[in-house]
DNA sequence: CGAAATTGTTAACAGTGGTTAACTTTTTTG
DNA sequence: CAAAAAAGTTAACCACTGTTAACAATTTCG
């Protein structure tokens, strides 16, 4: 969905978005804990997200989505929820649904995703 | 399925297996063309597969599966075919079914795979 | 047979995506 | 307010997985 750079930079964007919808501060340390990676890893990712024009950030500040960053974050999150819902509907456990979902959400073709989305609706 | 090392070493094992069932010589150059990677990449992978005890290989020879290598290759291939069949059953195009299949076959949890396998049967 | 094509191998390198350690800045709190 | 805790940053490093270039061994074929 986004031209890749780091870990599938979308994971980081999505994590910030989840903090956002939960009305939590958009801090690197929270994303670090949420994704289970080190703070430097998040720091690098935020630099990359800034370079890609998806967020705005100055040193020691909270991050803020750019319009396109927010649009993409919303889309990634939506994909995540649809795929998770779908896996749960297959009878997959919550734990594995979350796990598999995170692993496949960034790689599924738009075509396959649309088919799944229709099944869930 | 296999403890990873290279690219998801399973891709290479599976590629050799596909040559095998097609009765083609198990040459690195063929796998290289098949997967669209360089010959040195395949060379490294075969070293790794040898180290893992999945194939036997001496310099400038064709590769041969070890018993466990063959068992795993068969399993990986089976997963591939089931997932592809499933994607096709969703109405996904041949092209995207192949693409998505390769991207997700190594990461799906056993639980999710089993659910999908039951749907296909 | 011998030249050309193909295949296999090694070495040097690049990019991604992480890590730990050490330091700076900011926030919290006694 | 000052000390402690937490967050942000930078630098140096590592593992993985690929690349290209150059060369060796093997196979093919005129």
pLDDT of residue B8: 86
Write the pLDDT tens digit of every residue in A20-60. 999 999 999 999 999 999 999 999 999 999 999 999 999 89
B100–chain A Cβ distance below 8 A for any pair = yes
Q: Encoding tokens for residue A50? A: 């800034």
Q: Encoding tokens for residue B34? A: 């098949």
Write the pLDDT tens digit of every residue in B68-107. 999 999 999 999 999 999 999 999 999 999 999 999 998 9
Distance CA A98, CA A92 (A): 10
3-state SS, residue A75:
helix
Asked if strand D comes closer than 7 Å to B61 Cβ, the answer is: no
Q: Pairing relation of β-strands B64-65 and B55-56? A: antiparallel
The pTM of this model reads 0.90
**Which of B108, B119, B55, B51 has the alpha carbon at shortest distance from B80?**
B108
**Which of B14, B48, B46 has the alpha carbon at shortest distance from B28?**
B46
Burial of A121 (0-12, 13-18, 19+ CB in 10 A): exposed
Distance CA B13, CA A112 (A): 26
Confirm if A88 and A104 have CB atoms less than 8 A apart. Answer: no
Share of chain A above pLDDT 90, in %: 88
pLDDT of residue A121: 86
Give every CB contact of residue B108 below 8 A, 6+ residues apart in sequence: A100, A103, A104, B79, B83, B116
How far: A116 CA to C16 C1' (Å)? 30
Question: Which residues in chain B, range 46-75, keep a C-beta under 7 Å from any nucleic strand C atom?
Answer: 46-47, 57-62
Confirm if B59 and B47 have CB atoms less than 8 A apart. Answer: no
HSE-up of residue B52 (Cα within 13 Å, Cβ side): 24
pLDDT of residue B6: 73
pLDDT of residue B5: 64
A108–chain B Cβ distance below 8 A for any pair = yes
């Amino acid at each position: 969905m986004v031209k890749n750079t780091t870990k599938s930079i979308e994971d980081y964007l999505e994590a910030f978005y989840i903090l956002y919808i939960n009305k939590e501060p958009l801090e690197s340390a929270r994303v670090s804990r949420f994704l289970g990676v080190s703070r430097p890893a998040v720091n690098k990712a935020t630099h990359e997200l800034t370079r890609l024009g998806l967020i705005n950030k100055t040193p020691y500040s909270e991050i803020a989505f750019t319009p396109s960053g927010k649009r993409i974050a919303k889309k990634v999150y939506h994909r995540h929820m649809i795929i998770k819902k779908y896996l749960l509907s297959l009878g997959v456990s919550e734990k594995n649904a979350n796990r598999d979902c995170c692993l496949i959400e960034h790689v599924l073709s738009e075509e396959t995703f649309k088919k799944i989305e229709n099944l869930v609706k």
